Structure 1
Amino acid sequence: MRKLHQLFLNKDRSTTLFLRLLFGFLCIILLLSSLTVYSFLVSKQNVRKEIVKYNTLMLNHTMDSYEKHFDMIKKQMQYFFLSEKAQSLHTNPRYIDFPVIQQDIIAFVSNAQLFVYNIVFYSKRDGLILEKGASTDVNTMFNVFYKNEAYPPEFWRGQFDADYSFHIFPAAVFGNHIYRDQQLTHGELIPVVIKKAGSSDFLMVVFLDSSKMNEAFHRTVNEDFMIYNDNGQTLFRRSAQGQFVDSAELRSHRGTAFILDDTYYFQVKGGGSGLTYVQRVPVERIASQTRLNITLIAALVISVAASIVISWVFAAGINNPLQKMIGAIRGENDVGGFRSSIREFNIIRHQIQDKNKMHKHLSFLHQLKAIRSPDEKAPSAFADKPFLFVLFHAMSGREEDREHSSFQTWLNYMNVCMEDRMAKAFPDSLTFRIENNQIVSLVYSDRREQLIALLTRLDHLFEQDKAFGTVTIAVSSVYDDSGQIADAYREVQRLVRERRMINKTQIVTEREEPQDAIGFTADQWKEFQANLREGNAEQLANLIKRAFGKWQGKEPTASALWEFGGDLIGKIKSEASPLVIGPGKLQAIFEHADSRMQVCMTMADLERLMIEWCTKASEAFKEKKQLKDPVTSFIVEYVNEHLAEEIYLDVLAERLNLSGGYLSTYFKEKTGMNIVDFINETRIMKATNLLADNKYKIQDVAEAVGYRNITSFNRMFKKYIGATPSEFRKRPDSDI
């Protein structure tokens, strides 16, 4: 029995978290140290081999890049040289053809992938030189524009008799001596001469930018690089230190890598061009990679010692506050009085304190967003308790202030204040922010009059803070079922839209009786359209001012005025065509129209906004009216009247007794756009107006503006609007 009791004691025995953490850290340190030492031993044996392999691979890559590029230059330049335009310089040179050939030269030079600096045509018979910037003679070209001692004019004359059709010459620095007191340089260029087989009086010189080719093809930390040809000439050289060995010495070593004078040499010969590519690396640099391991080992020892000390401190830093937290969970300590320097432990403390409150908030959000599944029962916190919904909607005089820190700070303050006032008057109420400028309160009570009285007494608090913003308060009806929280939320959102457009705190408790429609009469709309077409901005402004002056005494609701604003924009859009206001300009005028109207605090703000829109639109109409033309006017009217039909250029030309080609050119000169583009833009503009009404299907809209194929309609709509019809309809301001 005593042995069995001892067995149970041994089974329940466990180590502390501190020892487990410390032991785990030590095991990790030992494992990492072992792996590091093993890596050092392996790398010491292979580092030299890998470095040699790396340099060989990099040189092969460089060689392959150069070979491919030379082959591409050969093919493209020979094709250009043998073209009819280029050969005409030799057979029948005409100055009128020079600009065309120079444009082709500039096209090659502008191609950054070719590294072509210039192309020169040289005709021996006429002594003609033609390059990208001028036509001249051989002496001026190579004694002034492209001068180099190794390449005088005599050198280029001698190339006519040389036996080759494609040859790469050594790189040289060519200077421009057009100014006597100032010498300019073209940089280091590689001349490539191309001739026609059997012809000895016409050639082409292609100057390649050797520096850019080296930067693009020789991407390695070693700058020592050289290219030899079959004759042992140096075509290109980049040397960080000292001189390269000559070609004869290189040829005596048949391998791709060898050591000479404490320097590793790597060489490879191109299969296509026969050029030899050489790269060198000091042996000292390769050896230093091995000696670096000694320093790393010393650093490893120091790191292991430091890691052990840090592990001890870190384990203790976690264990001590955790023991206090465990005591708080067991009830041995007060969790409210517990403080820790570790943020996560403080988060746990706050989680314990706010557990019940968070449960209520989450349950409320589930109800508010109507995401609770049909089979899920209502949370017990809301079951069979009457409630009201209060929405505090804050507004600032300018839209940009809504994101300003002072406005957001004021909203946070208001949230705390309302939470305190509501909790005191109605226990268990919940108050928190749900939108960028909205605060909600869920009040468990059926005493609606008492709640409204409390909010009325708080009116002076909001009036004192009018410098930050104006508040509209909406109070819902009394609801008995917790499943109606989403309905109550929708009710207060509708009530907020019933506010008056005044700079004053308002409490909205009931929806207004239906008012007479706010808007222009039929005669006023006709007057509006006439003045808009004529570009009379002042008359439009007076018309809007008279309307708003008439509504001052009626105090219409914000939703009614916003609806009028939507009608106003719709009228402007319906009158506009791509020739009057292009889609881009029209979109810029009414950009964020919905949010701009909603941020208007007073009727005066909304009036100024509508006058601004009408002024910009009328200016566009006025500009086009001054350019009005009977032919273009007929086309505009015909297109607008026959949008749903097929519109052909020949039909338009026949009605105007003009040819199709002349009509197309005339329309382009007068309007700046093609007839086809005008028809497409007019159709798309009309489609945007129809899409604003959700009662029309996209297929019906497409047919109404002349598209029988929905795919073609979608493609054309996205071309002009930047979105498909379905995406456009989902935009918040697509109905404006």
Structure 2
Amino acid sequence: MFFRDNIRSEIIKNNSLNLHTTVANYEKHFVQLKSNLMAHVFNTEVQTMLDVQSRPSAYPTMLKIQQDLQGTLNNSILYLENIIYYFKDKKLLIDKDGSRDPDTMFSKFYASDHYTPAFWLEELPRSQSFTLYPGAVFKEQTPYGGAYYGTLLPVLAKKEYDTRFGVIALVNGSAMYQDFHQRTDSGWFYIYDRNGQPVFASSGRSTADDPALSALAGQGYIEQGDTIYFYQQAAQTGYMYVDVIPIRAVTSQFKQMNLVFLLILLTSCALSLIIALLLARKFRNPLHNILQAVEQLGQPLSLQPSRITEFKLIAEKIHDLFRINHTIHRDLDTKNSLLQQYAYISRLKMISVNLKDIKTAIDSNRPYRLLLTHLTLKEEALLDTTLEASRSYALITELIRMHFIDNSPDSMTFQVEQNVILTILFEHPQQLDDSYALGQLLSLLQPETLYFQFTVGVSALQSDAEKFNETYDKVLEYTNQRRLDEDIQVFSRLETLTLPMLPTLAQEQELTANLHAGNDAIVIPLVHKLIEQLHKAGAPAHHIIALSKQIVEKALKVIYAKSLTVPGYENPKQPYEALKACRSIDDFKRFFEHFLSLLALTVRNKTKDSASDYMISFVKDYVESHYGEDISLDLLSQKLNITNSYLSSYFKDKTGINLSEYTHTFRMGKAMEMLQSTDLKIQDIASLVGYLTVAPFNRAFKRHTGVTPTEYRRQHQTLE
């Protein structure tokens, strides 16, 4: 009886520990979720959207918000289905797919019986800054079909007294339950908020007969009838977590434990008997068996029947064991160093991993300084060598590591990214205050400027381990200040710059119009002027590169809209590749002068084949030239001066497919080509192939290929 009671006590204890682990998982996730959502609440783009007066002028800001949202949604450990920016006064919502009004969003795309547009309109003025609402089933119900998202937990994050804006997150409650809950063979799981209202339930089981758990506090369990209720209240959020386990489940666990103990007992007896027999046989000749066991460590030896020879052999084998032990320790030291590097990288990337036993030097709050080296590879310089790009990055990393290891043995140098090298200095971090010491590193890197451009960021002296990520972000921001031309640049602080907003609306309109007209006499000087303005204002290189990519995207839109082939730039990726080789203001000017002059010449030489003796040729040429416009059977039959029915049957007779099928297939082919070979936004590609909005384009593309445009682009980028 005593034994049975102890087993039952251990099973109850085990279920309590399982619930404790579940609570820890949920609470940690809620803290991380709140941190991420509040970062979106204080996003600088929000104030810009609140202040902007017209929707067109807000378009760049909306695109930037969508990029920020996509970055957060790509983090799978947050279990986010979607994040929605809610601008109450503007009646505007922005999510990963675009912008919509509240009625469309919460009545069609994320419809729920409880969380209606009116509900969110009433919730936004409340003073709470972070609120988790009860889970509900959400579904999409549009004229084109519907789909269920499952149980989602809505979350509202906002500034406490701000009634104009809030961030709504939809958390996948079912996925969280699958990953966080320590599941048993049977039972149910519930989460209640501070007011005793249910937030999540793992099933639709009725709780009417359950005890009043909301009145309890702390951790424990209650037995009622044939059910045990394990509960624990979280200290941080105040939520009550409840595991409901039927008595029959505990009984089942008890039977399993008895069976396990029986198997262990039988196995122990069998092993004891076997070991006893083996030992009795082995100890008949101890010295002889010792020699045989030692010989198994290496090649078998031919032993002489001499006592001295036998002990000599033992000594040799022991020596071999020490040598192997030394090799193992050296290998463990190397792996420990790699684990420490992984621990640092995990901390920087905010990846949750179980590395409690790996103690990093920074955790002891030793003074440290970070030195970040950003490398830009000059790919053309590697063409005359057999060195691979990845190997060249590793060689620079080793060069920097060896430079610091002599004066600071505890320093660590490793690659955070392929082209980003981080050095952590511990013993003598003040050495970088001496310009001579830093000059030694720069002199060491100078010969390598034939192959790389180096941007070095140096942090201030730090002693707080909690500020490690913050310090790294600052140093990374230092390196983003790199300007054009110089091969090695060093930054130890942030410079305040006021950069012009380019291009202006007038300049953008002028640029677009003249690109379509093929007027390089205006386009090239205008582009040169824009780049020079940014350069003279002291803009970092990445600003000039971003402006250049924006101009290339406008040129590619003209190429696709007019179905052009520019000599030397047949592949749409070629302009982007050419931009990578530009490292000075003159490089950018030469590239645009060459590229835009060829584009303008191609536009001017484009001839329209408006007359044809053959109806099929005319139809195909018209579709290939106007696939971005509205194309109908009526339009084409009018142009050919024939009836709709005759053209339809004639085209089907000659080609074997309907005219609408031909037009759709051609448009999808162009869309697939642009997704593979350009960086154009999906909404831009939809517009270029004749779709007014991105939603019907997404549906048509998925019906044609079986995947969404985003998945198609990701798959083909991975293959490349």
**TM interval, short-chain normalised:** 0.3 to 0.5
TM-score where L is the length of structure 2: 0.45
Normalised TM-score (structure 1): 0.44
Q: Which has the higher contact order (CA 8 A, sep 6+)?
A: 1
Which structure is larger by alpha-carbon Rg, 1 or 2?
1
